[in-house]
Structure 1
Amino acid sequence: MQLRQLPTRRGFLLAATVVIVLAAALFLAGGLGLSPWSVSQSAPSTPEASAGRGSATGADPLAADISTLQDRARRNPRDPVALGTLGLNYVQQAKITADPTYYPKAEEVLRRSLTLDSTDNFAAMGGMAALEAARHNFSQGLSWAKRAVAINPYNATLYGTLADAYTQLGRYSEAADAVQKMVDLKPGTPSLARASYAAELRGDTTTARTDMQRALQSAGSPADRAFARYYLSEMAFNNGDADQALTDAEQGLRAVPNDAPLLQIKARAEAALGKNTEALTDLARAGQRLPLPEYVLQLGELYQSLGRTKQADQQYDIFRAEQKLFAANGVTLDSDAALFEADHGDHKQALALARKSLKSRPFLDSQDALAWALHTNGQDEEALTVSDKALALGTRNALFHYHRGMIQQSLGNTDAARDDLTKALAINPHFNPLHAPKARAALTAR
C-alpha cells in the first residue's frame, strides 16, 4: 500500500494515487485501507477489497451503497450518519477507481456531516482521517483518527486508521500499539494484515508471512482472499521467491479474476522468471483495470529494460499526467514521484519533492527517496546518512540496499558498496528490471 510502492510494499502513492490500499490499498488511504466501517447498516460489506477488485459475481456493492446514501441524503440533508458514511465511501471509491475527483466530494459531505454533529460523530471523523491519509496529509489524518478513537474506543477500524497514520509519520512503536489494540478488539483480515506489515517493517519476514496466512484464513469473502493472496505474493516476490509469488497470485486470481493488484504482482513474478510477454500483457491488463501510477511506471521500466524506449516514454508521459491530476485534487506527491524524477526526469525536482515528502511523511520510503535524490544531485555524504535512517528498522528491502550501495560506491567505500549491492541481490535478484542489472554490473566491475 503501498497500504508496498508500492514501489515498496504498500507505498504506491499511498492514497490510491493514479493512486495507492492499499492499497493499495493497500496502504492506500495512508495505509492498508482494509476494514469495513461498522457505523450503519448501509456500510459497504467489503470496501477493503482494494483497488481494482470486484466481486465474484461482478456486482459493485460500494457503488450501489453510494447511490443509496446519496438518495438518503437528498431526502434528509440533515442526517449526519448518512453524510459521514457517504463521505467515507467516496474516499473508498477513489481508491477503487483511481479517480481523485472523489476526494473533494468526500471532504464536502464529511464537513457537512460534522457541521450537523461535531461532538459524537466518530464516523465522519474517521472519514476525515481516511481522507487526509489518502491525500498524504498524515498529521491531519492522525488528529482526526485520535478524535474518533476518543469517542469510540471500541471500534477496531478506527485503531487501524490510527495505526496507518502513525506508521506513515514514522512513529512505529505507537503504530504497533494501535495495531495490537486492533487485533485485540477484532482479530481478522484487516488487523492481521496490519500486524503482518508491522513485522515486515522490522525485517521479521517469517512472522509477517505467518500473520498474512492467518489473515487469509480469516478472509470471509473472495475479495478478502484476493487481498491476502496479493500481499502473500508480494512478500514472496520481495524476498526473491518469484515462483511462490506467481503461485500466490494465480491462487488469488482464482478467487477474483482480473483483479488489478494480483495482475500487477503476477506480472512482476513473470518478468523475474523471464516470461516477459506474459508480464507485459498482465501489467497492461492491470493498468486497464486500474491506472495506478505504480503500474504505469512498472510497465514503462519493463519496456525500457527490453529496449522498447518509445513505449517506455509513453508510459512515463502518462505517469507525469497522473501526478498532475492527483496534485490538482489535493494529493501531496511523495516518494514515488521523487524516485521517478531521480531515475527518469529532473534531478533538482526530485530533491525538492523528496524533501517535501519527508516533512509530510517521515516514513522509511521517504527517507530512501531523499537519499537517492541527494545521490543523483551529487550530495552523497548527506545521502548516506539519510539512507542509514531508511534501513534503521532492519527492513529487508532490496531497493533500499541498492541505493545505499550505489551511494557508497560514489563515496569510494568499495567494501561497503559491495556488501550492500550483494545484499540487495540476495534479498531479491529481480527487484527492479533496470536497477538489478546495474547492481550486478557494479559488482562484476570490481
Structure 2
Amino acid sequence: MAAVGVLGVGMFLAGGLGLAPPSQHGRSTAAPATRAAGSLDETNASSDALAGHIAALQRHLREQPDDATALGTLGLDYVQQAKITVDPSYYPKAEEVLKRSLALETAENFTAMAGMAALEAARHNFTSALDWSRRAVTVNPDNATLYGILADACTQLGRYPESFDAVQHMVDLRPGTPSLARASYTWELRGDVAAATENMKRALNDANTPADRAFTLYHLAQLAFDNGDPKTALAHTAAGLRAAPGSAELLAGRAKAEAALGDTDAALADYAGAVAKVPQPAYVLELGELLQSLGRTKDAEQQYQVFRGEEKLFADNGVAPDSDQTLFEADHGDPVKAMALGENGLRSRPFIEMHDAYAWALHLGGRDTEALDQSRQATALGTRNALFHYHQGMIEKALGHSQEARTELGQALAINEHFNPLQAATARAALQELGAVA
C-alpha cells in the first residue's frame, strides 16, 4: 500500500495486455467471446464492463468447456476483477480455471501461464510468479506484456537489474502506456523523479482510453505528492476524475492532497467516498490515520478494525501478509507480531518496502542495530521516499547517532513534509529535540 509500491504488483493490468498468440503459431485460438485476436484490451475498464466480459466468457465456456484460451482469459479477468473490486474471493476462481486451461494445453499456453503469474503476484507469492512469467516468456519471447509481468515479479523479489532489463525489453518491443508506466517506476525506484515523471507523462500521452488516462494521471499525482507538491497532485487527480468520474483510486489520491493543503473536511469526504466504493485497505488505513491526527480516536479505531477485517479476508483467500500488515501492527497493533510478519514477509518479498517495514518493526521491538541494517537496505537504491528516511532517522536517533538522525529526518521532511498525518509531526518534534530546525 505504500506509494512506492503501487506500480509494482499488478501494473501489468494497465493498458492492453495484448496476449495474442505468438506469430509463429500462425493461428488464433481465441474464443468468440474474447476480445479481438485473443488480446486482452482495456483491462482497466470498469468493474461492470469486466463483469460483462466475464459473463460472456462463462457463456462461451458452457458451450465449449475445453477452450483453453478462453479459460486462460477468464482466469486473467478474475484476477483483474479481484483488483478492481478488492474482492479476493476471485482468486480461488482464477486458480481453478487457469489450472483447467493448463491441463488442456500445457506446453504453449502462455495466456494461462501469464494468468498464473498474475495470480501468484496478487497473492504475494513472487517466486512462483517469477517462475510462471519466465515460462510464458520462453513460449512467446516477442510478447511485450509478458516482460512486464516478468519485471513485476523481479522487482518484488529485489532482483532490480533483471527487472530494469525486462522493462527496457518491454519498451523496445512495444512502447506504450503499460511499458512507459513501468519505465517510470524503474526511475522512481532509483530516485530520479524527473525521469519518472517524464516517462509517466509519455504514458499519459499514449493513453487511448479514459481508464488509461485515469491510471496515468493518478500516478502522476502520486509522484507529485510523494515529492512534496500537493497542489500539482490535486490538479492531476482533478484531471483524472474528469476521465473517470467517481474513481475510488483518484478520490483517495485527491483526499491525500486535500489533507496536505489543510482542507480536512474535503479530504474526509473524499476518503469516505473512496472507501464506500472500494474498501481498499490502503484507503481505510489512510482515513484512519487522518482521523487519528485530528483527535478523532474512536472513529480512527473503527477504520483500523475495518482494516483488520479486510486483511483477514485477503489471508483467507491465500494472500500472504507483507509490508502493509507489518507497518500496521508496528504503528497501531502489536510490535511483536509486526516483527514476526516482517521476518516472514522478507522471505517471500525481499523488496525495499519489506526491508523498511521490517526495520520499523525491529525498531519498535527494541532491536535497533538490526533495524538500521534493514533500513539501509530499504534506501540502498536511492529511492526518494519520505517514510523510509523518517524510519531510518528515528532508528538512528534511538541508537544515539544524532547527526545521522538529523540528516535522515531532515531529508524526510524535505522530500515531503506531509508524508503522513501522524508521523510527519513526530519527525518535526524529533528534529527539534535534536536541536535542528524542522
Matches of 1:128 and 1:35, distance apart in 2: 19
Shift of 1:32: 5.1
Contact 1:342–1:373 (CA under 8 A) maintained in structure 2: yes
SS across alignment from 2:268: helix
Is the contact between residue 196 and residue 209 of structure 1 (CA under 8 Å) also seen in structure 2?
Answer: yes
Asked whether the 8 Å contact 2:15–2:212 carries over to 1, the reply is no
Would the aligned equivalents of 2:4 and 2:189 in 1 still touch at CA under 8 Å? no
Task: Find the aligned partners of 1:351 and 1:147 in 2 and give their Cα distance.
Answer: 34
What does residue 27 of structure 1 align with? 8
Query: 1:27: how far off?
Result: 3.2
Pair 1:304 & 2:284 matched? no
**Structure 2 partner of 1:156:** 144
Q: How does 1:157-172 map to 2 (within 5 A)?
A: 157-172=145-160
Aligned equivalent of 2:301: 313
Does the residue aligned with 1:48 lie in a helix, a strand or coil? coil
Equivalents in 2 of 1:32, 1:75: separation in Å?
30
User: 1:241, 1:131 → 2: CA distance?
Assistant: 35
| CA deviations over 1:105-133 (Å, ceiling 9, x no partner) | 00000000000000110000000000000
| 1:118 corresponding residue in structure 2 | 106
1:6-17 pair list within 5 angstroms:
7-11=2-6
> Residue 65 of structure 2: SS of its match in structure 1?
coil
Query: C-alpha deviations, 1:4-23, integer Å up to 9, x for none?
Result: x2x22334xxxxxxxxxxxx
- 5+ long unaligned stretches in structure 1: 12-25
- The one-letter amino acid of 1:255's match is A
Pick aligned residue for 1:419 from 380, 385, 407: 407
Q: CA deviation at 1:35?
A: 4.0
Greater Cα shift, 345-354 or 39-48: 39-48
Which residue is 2:23 aligned to? none
Work out whether residues 8 and 155 of structure 2, in 8 Å CA contact, stay in contact via their aligned partners in 1: no
Asked if 1 retains the 8 angstrom alpha-carbon contact of 2:9 and 2:152, the reply is no
Q: Please give the alpha-carbon distance, in whole angstroms, between the structure 2 residues aligned to 1:405 and 1:34.
A: 35
The match for 2:270 is 282
Q: Supply the AA of the counterpart residue of 1:33.
A: L
Report the 3-state secondary structure (helix = DSSP H, G, I; strand = E; otherwise coil) of the residue aligned with 1:183. Answer: helix
Determine the C-alpha separation between the residues in 2 that align with 1:32 and 1:413.
Answer: 42
Query: Which whole-Å CA distance do the structure 2 matches of 1:422 and 1:226 have between them?
Result: 33
TM-score with structure 1 setting the length: 0.92
Q: Which residue of 1 aligns with 2:202?
A: 214
Aligned residue for 2:191, secondary structure, equals coil
In structure 2, distance between residues paired with 1:184 and 1:305: 46
* Distance (whole Å) between structure 2 residues aligned to residue 123 and residue 394 of structure 1: 35
1:408 maps onto 2:396 in alignment: yes
Residue 367 of structure 1, aligned match among 355, 378, 388: 355
- The one of 5, 10, 16 equivalent to 1:36 is 16
3-state SS of the aligned residue for 2:341?
helix
TM, length-normalised to structure 2: 0.94
- Identical positions, percent: 59
Match of 2:251 in 1: 263
Partners in 2 of 1:9 and 1:71 — Cα distance? 40
Q: Deviations over 1:254-285 (max 9, x none)?
A: 11111111111110000000000000000111
Give 3-state SS (helix, strand or coil) of 1:233's partner: helix
Alignment of 1:95-110 (within 5 A): 95-110=83-98
Letter in 1 for 2:336: K
Q: Distance in 2 between matches of 1:306 and 1:44?
A: 44
Q: Write the deviation string for residues 325-368 of structure 1: whole angstroms up to 9, x where unpaired.
A: 00000000100100000000011110010111111000000000
- Whether 1:388 and 2:376 are equivalent positions in the alignment is yes
For 1:353, the equivalent position in structure 2 comes to 341
Corresponding residue for 2:42? Answer: 46
Structure 1 residue 444: deviation in Å? 1.4
Q: Which residue of 2 aligns with 1:82?
A: 70
CA distance in 1, matches of 2:40, 2:110: 17
1:44 & 1:126 partners in 2: Cα distance? 12
Matches of 1:228 and 1:32, distance apart in 2: 13
Name the CA distance, whole Å, in 2 between partners of 1:352 and 1:37. Answer: 37
Which structure features the higher share of helix residues? 2
Pairwise CA RMSD of aligned residues?
A: 1.1
Would the aligned equivalents of 1:45 and 1:61 in 2 still touch at CA under 8 Å? Answer: no
Question: Does the 8 Å contact 2:9/2:156 carry over to 1?
Answer: no
Structure 2: distance between partners of 1:47 and 1:82: 15
* Paired letter, 2:122: A
- Deviation of 1:322 after TM superposition, in Å, equals 0.7
How far does residue 48 in structure 1 lie from its aligned partner after superposition?
3.4
Is 1:228 the counterpart of 2:224? The answer is no
* Structure 1 residue identity aligned to 2:3: T
Matched AA of 1:234:
Q
Report the Cα offset of residue 151 of structure 1.
0.4
Distance 1:383 1:437 in 2: 22
Runs of at least 5 residues in structure 2 that lack an aligned partner in the other structure: 21-29
SS across alignment from 2:419: coil
> SS where residue 45 of structure 1 aligns?
coil
Count the aligned residue pairs. Answer: 418
Q: Cα offset for 1:44? A: 4.5
Give the CA deviation at 1:445.
1.9
Please give the alpha-carbon distance, in whole angstroms, between the structure 1 residues aligned to 2:407 and 2:275: 36
Determine if the alignment matches structure 1 residue 191 to structure 2 residue 172.
no
Q: Is the 8 A contact 1:35 1:46 kept in 2?
A: yes
How far off is 1:61 after superposition? 2.4
1:47 deviates by 1.1
Rounded to whole Å, the distance in 2 between the matches of 1:318 and 1:439 is 27
Q: Return the letter of the residue paired with 1:9.
A: V
Cα separation, partners in 2 of 1:144 and 1:342, compared to 1, 3 Å: same
Q: 1:28: how far off?
A: 3.8
CA deviations on 1:147-169 (whole Å, 9 max, x unpaired) are 00000111111111000000000
